[in-house]
Amino acid sequence: MYSVKRICYQLIIPVILILISLMIVWKWPEIQAQFKSTKELKAFLVLLPVLPYAIFSIGALMGWRYNNMGLVMGSCVLGLSYFISLRFSPGQWSNTFYEAYIFLFPLNIVMCSMLIKRYIFTLKGFLSLFLILFQILAIITLCGQIDYSSSAVVSKIEGLIPFASIHLDDFSTGFKSFLKMKELVIFKQIPTPAIISFLLSLAYLSARFLKNRDILLAGYIGSLSAVFLSAAANRPEAAPIVFHITAGLILIITNIEASFFMAYNDELTSLPGRRSLNENMMNLGKKYTIAMMYIDHIKKFNDKYGHKTGDDVLKVVAARLKEISGRAKVYRYGGEEFTAVFQGKSAKESIPHLESFRKALADSQFVVRMRSRKKSTAVKRGQGPIEKQNQVWITISIGVSEPGKHHPTPEKVIKAADKALYKAKKAGRNRVCS
C-alpha cells in the first residue's frame, strides 16, 4: 500500500503538468486570440518561443551546479529536440532531420536517465557528450542533401574503400526510407520506427521506476511523454512550445523534489530523517507523545551476519513502522534508533499502539541470507539445518514520554523518552517503558 502511494505521489507532478499542457494546446486558438487582444500579453506571445530555451538553460545550470550529468544532458537533449522540431518539418524527403531526431530522442532520454547522480567531469560524461555530437554529425551526413561523389572527405575515404560514395549514398537512401516508414497509422505525424523507439524507451524507464521508486526516473518518463505528445499533436504552431516547456519543467521540478527528499528523508529506510523530526517538533502543540525505539542487540547482529544484513534489518523494521497504528509519524533518529510521534495523544493512549507493534515484530521471523546459501543448490536450500540457522527474531525496546512539569518542551520530552528507553534495555529489552 505504501509503495502504491509513493508511486502515485512521484507521478502526480508530471501527470498534472502534461494534462495542463494538453488543455492549453487544445484551447490554443482561443488563448492566442485573448493574448492578441491585450498589448502586454501580445508581447509575451512574441517572447513565448524563447521561453523553452530559458527553461533548458536553467536545468543545465542546475545540473552543472549540483554536478548532475543526467540533468545537464537531459536539458541539452530537450533543447536540441525543440530546435529541430521548430526548424524542420516532418515529411520532407529532401532531408529527414526531423524523423531522425524523433527516432533518436527516446534513446537519448534513456541514456540521460542512466547518468542520474553521475558527475559531469567523468569518462561516462565525456562519452555521452561525444555520442550526442556524433549523432548530430551522422544525421547531417546521412539525412541531408549531400552529393557524396563530390565530397572531399568521401573522395579520400575512397582511397581506402572503393566506391565509398556509392555505398554511402545507398545507405543514406535506405536509412531515410527506414525513418519514414508509416505502417502504423495511429499517429500519422510519427513514423513507425519512432513510435517503436518511444514505446521501448517508455517500457524500459517504467520498469526501472517501478523497481527503484526514483522520482528522477518519473521526471524522464514525463519528459519523454511530453515530447511524444508534441510530435503527435495536430497543432504545430503551439505543441512544440507548450510541450517542450512542460518537459523542461518536469525535469527541473522532479530534480528539486529529489533533492528535497534526500535532505529530509533517510536514504536507507526512506523514513523521514532528523531534519523532518526537528521541524515537526516545532508544531506539536501541547498534547503529544514521543517514543524512542532501539533495535535490540543490533551490534551483535552486525558482527555475526555483516553490516549489509544489518541494513536489511533496519529496512524491515522501518517498513513495519510505516504501518504502526495510532496515526503515529515515524522517523529514523539515527543509527539503530527510531522515533514515533503521536500528536494529540497522551502516553496512556499511545502505549497500546506501541505494545501492539512490539509484539507483532517479536512474533515475526527474519530470514538471513547467509553466504552458504549461494553455494548450496536449489534442492539443498530447503533442507533442515540450513533453514533453522537462517531464521532470527527481531525485538525492539521502546521508551515513551509526554510533556510534563519537568520536561515541557519537545527536546526535553525526547530526553525523557531516551531515559525510559534506557530503563527498558536495563529491564531486559523487548518491552515498552515510560
Write down the domain spans for the chain. Answer: 2-264, 274-433
pLDDT score of 154 = 53
- Reported pTM: 0.75
Segment 323-334 mean pLDDT = 89
Could you give the CA distance from residue 314 to residue 298 in angstroms, rounded to a whole number? 9
Q: Are 111 and 131 in contact (CB under 8 A)?
A: yes
Q: Are 393 and 402 in contact (CB under 8 A)?
A: no
How many other CB atoms sit within 10 Å of the CB of residue 425?
15
Could you give the CA distance from residue 365 to residue 344 in angstroms, rounded to a whole number? 33
154-185 residues labelled b (16+ CB within 10 A) or e (exposed): beebbeeeeebbeebbeebeebbeebbeeeee
Q: Which three cell numbers stand for residue 379?
A: 534442492
Q: What is the pLDDT of residues 362-394, one digit of tens each?
A: 888 777 765 544 444 444 444 544 444 567 788
Residue 206 predicted with pLDDT over 90: yes
Q: What is the pLDDT of residues 135-171, one digit of tens each?
A: 888 887 777 666 555 555 555 555 555 555 655 666 6
Q: Are 186 and 194 in contact (CB under 8 A)?
A: no
| Res. 81 pLDDT band, cuts 50 70 90 | very high
Using alpha carbons, select from 85, 431, 327, 429 the residue that is nearest to residue 230.
85
Q: What is the pLDDT of residues 29-78, one digit of tens each?
A: 888 888 777 776 777 788 889 999 999 999 999 999 888 899 999 999 99
Using alpha carbons, select from 132, 142, 134 the residue that is nearest to residue 100.
142
The architecture (CATH level 2) of 274-433 comes to: 2-Layer Sandwich (3.30)
Q: Cβ neighbours of residue 10 under 8 Å, at least 6 residues apart?
A: 209, 213, 215, 218, 254, 257
Residue 251 predicted with pLDDT over 90: yes
Segment 332-352 mean pLDDT = 90
Using alpha carbons, select from 22, 230, 190 the residue that is nearest to residue 99.
190
In which element (H, E) is residue 6 found?
Answer: helix 2-26
| Res. 253 pLDDT band, cuts 50 70 90 | very high
